[in-house]
Amino acid sequence: MPRIPPWLFRKANRRSPNVAALLPACRDLQSAVNELRWLKEHVHGITRIQQEGLLSRLCRKRGQGYPLQYILGSQPFGPLDIKCRPGVLIPRPETEAYTYHLADLIKAGSLGVGASDQSLGIVDFCTGTGCIPLLLYALLSRRFERLEVLGVDISTRAVSLARANVAHNIRLGHLPSMRPNHTVDILQGDIFQDQILEKLQEQTWDVMVSNPPYISRRAWHYGGGQIGHSVRKYEPSLALVPGDDIPIPTAWEHEDVFYARLLDIASRLRPKAMLYEIGDEMQAVRVISRFSQHRLSVGSHIEVWRDWPDTTPSHEEGSLLETTTADGRSQTVLAKGSGNIRSIFITLGS
């Protein structure tokens, strides 16, 4: 990361010492000014002397890289206000973008779900704060007569926070109040244990979503790729790096092991569509290659979505991703949108 020039620190300090304290994390003056405004709103309500001392401490803490969302306690996510706490991954704008795009495809009827009986079931694995299932519920609740949305996570802390986010957003009016045949729920469970799958197989799941751990151990310990120092220092490795105790299937990389499991889960739940967040283009290529050998690949359609799937790619980005199947054949996959490769979208054959 490039160093901040001294003249920018001097300019920030003329605005306010707190703006200068925020600059190392914000990287530009306008962002620092914006964050200072939010922090001032956060400490509003206590005495002026207390405000000044607390605000100064929070600005220094933020300037050292501590996530703003953990300080403020929440992150906007579409129309929702998602509570954020240390130990649970912070929602990203790229995740919000592909969730919106998925909801638009569902509402347009292009996935072949909910067309006949107006019923839809969505399951989100590794749900964290619950931001994905809550946003999908908010966007789709008026479209379907029957809607069941479920988030699943192994972390007790994440499950507690996700359930709190359900109640919090209903209370704020950002989520529609529950009505007959409409549910959004959070379940604690380990997706590598079959007991939870046996329970899920009792219901119909049309769409399966996951933002699983996908960071390599090397990137986590030494940095690299799209993962920043602040993420490695302050956000939970459980949500980002597959555990060392997870068995690695033949021909799969350690950082890709959740995708191997998710494909096997899909074989049992038989959703019509799957959307998986991934770390980068190289990981997308590896997962697509492994998927080409999976029994689910017969009659399926696969594409990748960039950070902003609704936008037009630049000339340099292109709209196609060249991959190779596991047996060495070349394969061309549609790449939607602009930005970095962010997710893999699969519709399954009947």
pLDDT value of position 117: 55
**Same domain membership, residue 141 and residue 122:** yes
Q: Is position 160 within any domain?
A: yes
- DSSP characters over 201-253: TTS--SEEEE------HHHHHH-BTTB-HHHHHHS-GGGTS--TTSPPPTT--
Q: For the chain, what is the domain count?
A: 2
**Same domain membership, residue 94 and residue 196:** yes
Which of the pair, 228 or 284, is modelled with greater confidence?
284
Range of the domain at 121: 76-347
Domain boundary among 48, 66, 84: 66
**Same domain membership, residue 243 and residue 208:** yes
**What's the CA gap between 25 and 42, in Å, rounded?**
18
**Same domain membership, residue 293 and residue 191:** yes
Q: Which residues, in sequence order, are CB contacts of 103 under 8 Å at separation 6+?
A: 135, 136, 139, 140
**Same domain membership, residue 286 and residue 216:** yes
Domain boundary among 29, 44, 66: 66
Give the residue-averaged pLDDT of 75-79: 98
**Same domain membership, residue 165 and residue 40:** no
**What's the CA gap between 291 and 298, in Å, rounded?**
10
- Domain CATH number, residue 163: 3.40.50.150
Rounded to the nearest integer, the mean pLDDT of the chain is 94
Q: Is position 209 within any domain?
A: yes
The tens digit of pLDDT for each residue in 126-159 reads 999 999 999 999 999 988 999 999 999 999 999 9
Q: Is position 71 within any domain?
A: no
